[in-house]
Amino acid sequence: MKAADTASAAPALWQLLQATAQGVAAVRQGQSATRIIAEVRTDLRPGVQALLYQSLRYLGRATALRAQLARRAPPPAADALLCTALALAWHEDLAPYAPHTLVNQAVEAAKRHRATQAQASFLNACLRRFLRERDALVAQTEADPVAHWNHPSWWVAQLQKDHPEHWQAILQANQQAAPMTLRVNTRRVTREALQARWAQAGLPSQPVGEHGLVLAAPRAVHDIPGFDEGLCSVQDAAAQRAAPLLASGLKTSPEGRAWRLLDACAAPGGKTAHLLELLDAEVVALDVDAERCRRIGETLARLHLQADIRCADAGQPGTWWDGRLFDGILLDAPCTASGIVRRHPDVRWLRRASDVGQLAAQQARLLSALWPLLQPGGVLLYCTCSVFKQEGQAQAQAFLAHNTGAILREAPGHLMPALTDNRSRDQDGFYYALLEKSGP
């Protein structure tokens, strides 16, 4: 085979499994799947992303099955490969390839990598036994809540406490791949016109929310008509509610000047852009990380929008604030991301129970630091992409209890990740509280 033919040939499944297992091992060591995938060889990347996400969605089941097959876990690289194969093959209806093919190729992957060569025979024995006894082994793991729900036990317990009527539906929704939802830049095009343009290009979609369209099937962003022109942006339906909610709380437009708004944790710039698409406003966009600030700039440039981008800690106004009060503040605070697990399945395995309290303390610090920067009569929209009440309802209630000048305006509160076949109602998990500052 010529070199050119080799370069264009589709990668072998064993190569994809090898890279996927390396990704599973990296997540177990605390690395994010987004960063891992970005470093995968280009020709392998789409296949590895699909297999890695599915492996992470069923890692709880796979780890329990491995414990049935081996009393002691093999070295980390071999264990990751074994669990990857089990996660992909444990349920025949869900398997991306025939289970026998997955097993054969996983063993081949073990033989071809120095870190797993010594355990290739062990992996082969475990996986062959799994194929022979699959139904019995799966049944034995069913009573394990981590295997059944594919979430850490502390996470399951937290949802049972916070949402006793909906915790099962939330966990089930987390196992579904999220849809690809885009926000239409209505400053430049109507939703109906863009939807019609997509339909002509063979991209069916459904309206969602006020400004969104959800595609029937995901597509690379640069293949979506209008994306490179700045006519639309990828943004989940729940996140699209932020800018309209803040805009709805603003009162009579200030005379002689534009609205002065702050997006306090702005990267990658989706909500900043949405504010600018909806309002004639002067927007300050903050983020503590320089690389993430660069991404805000790229987002706004593609959409032909402008904001005052500053690299700073929103919780330390003395380092960046010029003393002029804001009419509106959007605080999309750092959180556990427990509401976007279907979109980022690694999050459940990266978080620890202690993270909830630590992040709640950071959220409280940001609220306390930003509230004095708001005009009397102005509004602050507090939001997190979390379904845990400590980061949502409890956080807002604590703030209201300690700030008598704060009034809770109508807001949706906790939004749950959808479990529905109707994509027009599909959304991630989020929390929203719109707080008004009393005064003249």
CA 177 vs. chain centroid, Å, equals 11
Tokens representing residue 321 in the block: 């604030």
DSSP symbol at 431 = E
Count CB-CB contacts under 10 A for residue 92. Answer: 9
Residues 137 and 59 in one domain: yes
Residues 287 and 419 in one domain: yes
List the CATH number of the domain containing 189: 3.30.70.1170
Question: Three-class SS of residue 293?
Answer: helix
Asked, for residue 196, whether it belongs to a domain, the answer is yes
The arrangement of strands across the sheet holding 430-437 comes to 308-311, 281-287, 259-263, 326-332, 374-384, 430-437, 406-415
Q: From its phi and psi, is residue 40 left (phi > 0), alpha (psi between -120 and 50) or beta?
A: beta
Asked, for residue 170, whether it belongs to a domain, the answer is no
Question: Three-class SS of residue 345?
Answer: coil
Domain-terminating residue out of 234, 268, 296 = 234
List the CATH number of the domain containing 251: 3.40.50.150
Residues 215 and 83 in one domain: no
Residues 124 and 246 in one domain: no
Domain-terminating residue out of 130, 150, 170 = 150
Asked, for residue 167, whether it belongs to a domain, the answer is no
Asked, for residue 17, whether it belongs to a domain, the answer is yes
Asked, for residue 3, whether it belongs to a domain, the answer is no
Instruction: Identify whether the C-beta of residue 396 lies closer than 8 Å to the C-beta of residue 435.
Output: yes
> Residue 101 to residues 75, 92, 97, 98, 282: CA-CA distances in angstroms?
24, 12, 7, 5, 57
Residues 392 and 244 in one domain: yes
Residues in the chain where the model's pLDDT stays below 70: 1-8, 419-425, 440
Tokens representing residue 100 in the block: 């026998």
Q: Is 321 exposed, middle or buried (0-12, 13-18, 19+ CB in 10 A)?
A: buried
C-alpha distance across the termini of the chain, in Å: 78
Asked, for residue 397, whether it belongs to a domain, the answer is yes
Instruction: Identify whether the C-beta of residue 25 lies closer than 8 Å to the C-beta of residue 78.
Output: no
> Residue 159 to residues 165, 353, 386: CA-CA distances in angstroms?
10, 12, 11
- Domain assignment of residue 344, given as a range: 239-437
pLDDT of residue 252: 72
Compute the distance between CA of residue 413 and CA of residue 162 in angstroms, rounded to an integer: 13
> Residue 262 to residues 30, 80, 334, 399, 437: CA-CA distances in angstroms?
32, 44, 16, 19, 15
pLDDT of residue 424: 57
List the CATH number of the domain containing 49: 1.10.940.10
Asked, for residue 142, whether it belongs to a domain, the answer is yes
User: DSSP E strands: which ranges in 212-273?
Assistant: 212-215, 232-234, 259-263
Compute the distance between CA of residue 314 and CA of residue 336 in angstroms, rounded to an integer: 18
Domain-terminating residue out of 106, 130, 150 = 150
Compute the distance between CA of residue 47 and CA of residue 51 in angstroms, rounded to an integer: 6
Compute the distance between CA of residue 95 and CA of residue 102 in angstroms, rounded to an integer: 9
Residues 223 and 347 in one domain: no
Residues 225 and 244 in one domain: no
Instruction: Identify whether the C-beta of residue 113 lies closer than 8 Å to the C-beta of residue 138.
Output: no
Which stretch of DSSP H or E encloses residue 14?
helix 13-28
Asked, for residue 97, whether it belongs to a domain, the answer is yes
Residues 111 and 124 in one domain: yes
225-273 pLDDT per residue, tens: 999 999 999 999 999 999 999 999 998 777 778 899 999 999 999 999 9
Q: From its phi and psi, is residue 439 left (phi > 0), alpha (psi between -120 and 50) or beta?
A: left
Residues 431 and 376 in one domain: yes
Which stretch of DSSP H or E encloses residue 284?
strand 281-287
Instruction: Identify whether the C-beta of residue 315 lies closer than 8 Å to the C-beta of residue 309.
Output: no
Whose CA is closest to 181, among 238, 236, 242, 239?
Answer: 236
Residues 286 and 227 in one domain: no
CA 381 vs. chain centroid, Å, equals 20
Produce one character per residue of 46-82: b if its CB has 16 or more CB atoms within 10 Å, e if not. Answer: ebbbebbbbbbbbbbbbbbbbebbbeeebeebbbbbb
pLDDT of residue 327: 96
Instruction: Identify whether the C-beta of residue 82 lies closer than 8 Å to the C-beta of residue 57.
Output: no
User: Which active-site residues does the annotation give?
Assistant: 385
Tokens representing residue 135 in the block: 């139904």
Stated pTM of the model:
0.93
Compute the distance between CA of residue 415 and CA of residue 430 in angstroms, rounded to an integer: 5
Residues 135 and 197 in one domain: no
For the chain, the domain total comes to: 3
Residues 230 and 314 in one domain: no
